[in-house]
Structure 1
Amino acid sequence: MQVPSAERRELIEVFTGLRPAQFRRLVQAVKHRGGRAPDRYRLGRPWALSLEDRVLLIAVNYRTNLTMRQLVPLFGVSSAAAHRIIDQHSPFLALARTRRHPTADDVVIVDGPLVPTQDRSVAAPSKNYQHSANLQILIDAHTRIVLAVGRPVPGNRNGCQAFSESGIDIVCGDAIVLADSAYRGTGVLIPHRRRPGQESLDWQQDDNRSHRRVRARVEHAISRMKNWKILHARRRRGLAAYWAASGIARMHNLALAD
């Protein structure tokens, strides 16, 4: 059986959503952050796969959410090697912190999708009828680039709690933040609420309509990220859901860059 390899250019876009040139930039970033081969003068087993194939293995894991029993035969490595690759390299794929903090002239949008996970330490029964973690996603309203992914919080937290507990509020800086009604009381811009027994004024309806059009951009970004099946059912523990979502966000940004 022919195993997947980054040398087969037609597989790169299938599993990463990136063109070969964009994939090479991703590999270089991983290498720069510590994914290079072990020093031959130091103790330790060498990697069974090249750096390009290790990045591709993680992308296949994110895209398909195959179990290790299914993933291992595809790349011809042992289960221990596959676990080691995913554990050690997932943080290298994660979204890098932006050097430029949003300013008062910027407009950002935040939303919190629920990611089902079996790790009960970061999950709770949620409105999607599963144990899920809430992952706050922050995007730039103009470029639609994902700026940050918040640390996972239990899925039974509302938007107000998740906004601060995930740390995403700090990343927003001084920017104008748009969000839905779940973020009431956080100081972000939310739609006008209609009081019981009263009708919304015409100008409030116009504002809400404009707000929905802009805020839909974060929902579109999350929808594209959820093409990666791992965000439908995360099996690994700890911060694995965060690393997966952050790595997917990085590939999403690279695909939008050109």
Structure 2
Amino acid sequence: MAGVITASEPSWIGPFTGLSPRLFGKLVTALRREGADPVRKGRPWSLPLEDRVLLVAAYWRTNLTMRQLAPLFGISKSAADRIIDQLGPSLALQPRKRFAKDTVLIVDGTLVPTRDHTTAEQSKNYRYSTNHQVVIDADTRLVVVVGRPLPGNRNDCKAWEESGAKAAVGTTMTIADGGYPGTGLVMPHRRCKGEELPDWKQAHNKSHKQVRARVEHVFARMKTWKILRDCRLRGDGVHHAMLGIARMHNLTLAG
């Protein structure tokens, strides 16, 4: 069965990956170098690596079911499922391990509606969700760390440590909103009851809010991937999707 969508036709790459054909080729080359396309015993993959990467990206971008997506690539539903399970983890962003002394980071949590109730809990959006702590570089807006997903009812100050994000950034200066009390992060000044903030604190809060908004802009771009609006993946699938989307976000920004 012939497929409709293929990476050999460059016009399909942009809509599903957000990457130019040049950057897509760079991603595929990196995946080969990282061992994402090993020689397979027995039956070979029904699609080349380029098309498999495009299939995973198309699934994350559109959130189509396997029954809907597989015919577009000319393969069976079970083959599409195997490709996503095998290649999804390989696309994951690797956390940055070292930071320059003057680096400033921004952290915030985002909720991803997740149908796997073994990893999700009902949260403030009244849906079963997972909490993802995302850390970006304040200067470049690149994602540097994505913590492991936690149940959506976990507040950010606890998720910051339990997700592994705190350990990943170490002592690097990190900005956060008011939902991280007691964490040592740089947060806005709070007004005491019956008192007004002095002008210098108000000015500081204003600049803090403007810088912190950069992580919200990153979330807005990442949430254009529909898998992050209603994730049907089980187990670590939602984590792999978040990391893979973060990697492609970084590729798009870095050019």
Segments ≥4 residues shifted beyond 4 Å: none
Residue 62 of structure 1 aligns to which amino acid in structure 2? W
Question: 1: CA distance between counterparts of 2:217 and 2:108?
Answer: 11
| Runs of at least 5 residues in structure 1 that lack an aligned partner in the other structure | none
Secondary structure at 2:190 match in 1: coil
Question: Would you say how many aligned residue pairs link Structure 1 and Structure 2?
Answer: 254
Question: For residues 195-234 of structure 1, what are the structure 2 equivalents within 5 Å?
Answer: 195-234=192-231
Q: TM-score, normalised by structure 1?
A: 0.95
Partner of 2:91: 93
Question: 1: CA distance between counterparts of 2:222 and 2:150?
Answer: 19
Question: 2: CA distance between counterparts of 1:117 and 1:68?
Answer: 17
Deviations 1:220-246 (A, max 9, x none): 011100010000000011111110010
Equivalent residue for 1:146, pick from 143, 147, 158: 143
Partner of 1:27: 28
Question: 2: CA distance between counterparts of 1:227 and 1:92?
Answer: 21
Deviations 1:90-149 (A, max 9, x none): 011010233x41244210000110000011121111011100000111100001000011
Secondary structure at 1:147 match in 2: strand
Secondary structure at 2:197 match in 1: coil
Determine if contact 1:136/1:163 at 8 Å carries over to the other structure. Answer: yes
Question: 2: CA distance between counterparts of 1:174 and 1:197?
Answer: 35
Determine if contact 1:144/1:221 at 8 Å carries over to the other structure. Answer: yes
Secondary structure at 2:126 match in 1: coil
Question: 2: CA distance between counterparts of 1:69 and 1:79?
Answer: 6
1:129 matched to 2:126: yes
Equivalent residue for 2:71, pick from 65, 70, 73: 73
Secondary structure at 1:157 match in 2: coil
Partner of 2:180: 183
Q: Kindly, what percent of the aligned residue pairs are identical?
A: 54
Determine if contact 2:3/2:74 at 8 Å carries over to the other structure. Answer: no
Question: 1: CA distance between counterparts of 2:95 and 2:217?
Answer: 22
Q: TM-score, normalised by structure 2?
A: 0.96
CA RMSD between the two structures: 1.2
| Runs of at least 5 residues in structure 2 that lack an aligned partner in the other structure | none
Deviations 1:49-85 (A, max 9, x none): 0000000000000100001111111111111111110
Determine if contact 1:109/1:218 at 8 Å carries over to the other structure. Answer: yes
Determine if contact 2:3/2:75 at 8 Å carries over to the other structure. Answer: no
Secondary structure at 1:108 match in 2: strand
Determine if contact 2:88/2:241 at 8 Å carries over to the other structure. Answer: yes
